[in-house]
Amino acid sequence: MRKKPPTSQDVARLAGVSQSTVSYVLTGSRPISGATRKRVEEAIDKLGYHPNSGARTLRSQRSNVIGLMVPEADSDDGVLMVFIGAIAREAQRFGYDILLVTAQEGAQGIRRVVRTGVCEALILMELGRHDERVATVIESGLPFVTIGKPDELPQGSAVDLDFEMLGRMVVQRALRQDCDRLLLFGAPGQKRHRNDVSRFLNGVESQADGTDLQLLLDAGAVADVPERAVQVTAAGERTALFGITGATQALFALAATGALTDPSRLMIALTGDDLSAVSPLLAAVPRIDPRRVEISELAVRELVRLLREEGAGPRVTLVEPRWLDD
């Protein structure tokens, strides 16, 4: 049997104050004497009172819920879960809940959550360079933050990894470790339409410019990277390998062929995870931390700023990748 939760009316009665006083204690939008506050808080505690979300939302137009538009999970995506977990926890800290909106719903889904008023703000993940969803959110007028930076967003904020810097870091490392070429896999050439890939390649190319480093943009399947790595490496030369997507998979595939122990190869991984837990063979692989937790937390905090600070303008925050083995 479900028993009805207590209302602010019940709290008021028990504390011997008016119902509005209870509300003011909760919202803090009016000074309350210490004695009264104390009695009200005791009553709240005693009854286990929580303000009814529907009523609060109806009245205040603020639902304390942030919509999170998640991309479809392509099976292997543990990465996504890291973002979602971190976002949910950080939102919690600020008193917000996270409502999932599937990418499948598209712009229509955004319209729905906006019109029904379930969400008072949105976080969008994995946008294309020109994404119809951005236009829809802007039109709705809801504050929003994107994780990943689309080409144009005059109205909302964005938080993302600094992919240009990532590109420069990879090239620097390859050069420092005397590599003759850098094999970029995960079909980066074909994915230039993605904003992050395009920025990454800009970084790579600008840093490699004027050096002897030969760039190879692999176009094949990640599973075949090991084979390709062998093919391209001439005797006495050294090839660095890096994948902006599917990196861990290729890493395993490489390890499987023994390529990692071969001094003519230098694998660089984009992950914050401890790879030695998977296999001791991976312990020595240099890693760059993509800082997903930090990015998630920043996205939430940026949204909170947009929500709470009067007249706060949108802004773009780029997080620096970090070496994990220096």
Partner DNA sequence: ATGAAAGCGCTAACAT
Partner DNA sequence: ATGTTAGCGCTTTCAT
- Take residue 67 and report the two structure tokens written for it: 């919509």
Among 32, 80, 312, 319, binds its own copies (CB under 8 A): 80
Among 24, 79, 291, 318, binds DNA (CB under 7 A): 24
- Take residue 304 and report the two structure tokens written for it: 């909170």
Among 198, 202, 214, 249, binds its own copies (CB under 8 A): 249
Report the sign of the C-alpha dihedral through residues 55, 61, 63, 64, in that order.
negative
Least Cβ distance, residue 3 to DNA (angstroms): 12
Q: How many residues in total does the chain contain? A: 326
- Take residue 281 and report the two structure tokens written for it: 């063979």
Question: Which residue is it, tokens 């971190």?
Answer: 86
How far is the C-alpha of 123 from the C-alpha of 299, rounded, in Å? 8
Among 38, 60, 223, 234, binds DNA (CB under 7 A): 60
Beta-bridged to residue 101, according to DSSP, are 69
Query: Applying CB under 8 A, which part among 9-17, 231-239, 253-261, 313-321 lies near its own copies?
Result: 253-261
95 binds DNA (CB under 7 A): no
Q: Give the amino acid at 126.
A: E
CB 82 within 8 A of CB 292: yes
Q: Is 3 exposed, middle or buried (0-12, 13-18, 19+ CB in 10 A)?
A: exposed
Per-residue DSSP letter, 202: H
17 binds DNA (CB under 7 A): yes
Among 82, 215, 232, 307, binds its own copies (CB under 8 A): 82
Alpha carbon distance, N-terminus to C-terminus of the chain? 59
CB 183 within 8 A of CB 237: no
Dmax (CA) for the chain in angstroms is 87
Site residue total, DNA (CB under 7 A): 31
Among 253, 295, 298, 303, binds its own copies (CB under 8 A): 253
Question: What residues contact residue 275 under an 8 Å CB cut-off, 6+ apart?
Answer: 251, 269, 282, 283, 285, 287
Q: Which is nearer to DNA, 8 or 239 (CB)?
A: 8
72 binds its own copies (CB under 8 A): yes
Among 15, 68, 90, 86, residue whose Cα is nearest residue 45: 15
- Take residue 191 and report the two structure tokens written for it: 């994915």
Q: Which of residues 270-289 bind its own copies (CB under 8 A)?
A: 272-274, 276-282
Q: Is 104 exposed, middle or buried (0-12, 13-18, 19+ CB in 10 A)?
A: exposed
Query: Applying CB under 8 A, which part among 13-21, 42-50, 145-153, 181-189 lies near its own copies?
Result: 42-50
Q: Which is nearer to its own copies, 15 or 70 (CB)?
A: 70
Q: Which of residues 95-154 bind its own copies (CB under 8 A)?
A: 97-102, 104-105, 111-118, 140-142
Q: Which of residues 27-46 bind DNA (CB under 7 A)?
A: 27, 29-33, 35-37
Least Cβ distance, residue 4 to DNA (angstroms): 6
Query: Applying CB under 7 A, which part among 12-20, 140-148, 155-163, 219-227 lies near DNA?
Result: 12-20
Q: Would you give the distance in Å from CA 274 to the centre of its chain? A: 20
Query: Applying CB under 7 A, which part among 7-15, 141-149, 170-178, 287-295 lies near DNA?
Result: 7-15
Site residue total, its own copies (CB under 8 A): 78
Q: Which is nearer to its own copies, 165 or 244 (CB)?
A: 244
Query: Applying CB under 8 A, which part among 12-20, 145-153, 157-165, 222-230 lies near its own copies?
Result: 222-230
Question: Given the rule CB under 7 A, which residues bind DNA?
Answer: 4, 7-9, 16-24, 26-27, 29-33, 35-37, 49, 51-52, 55-56, 58-60
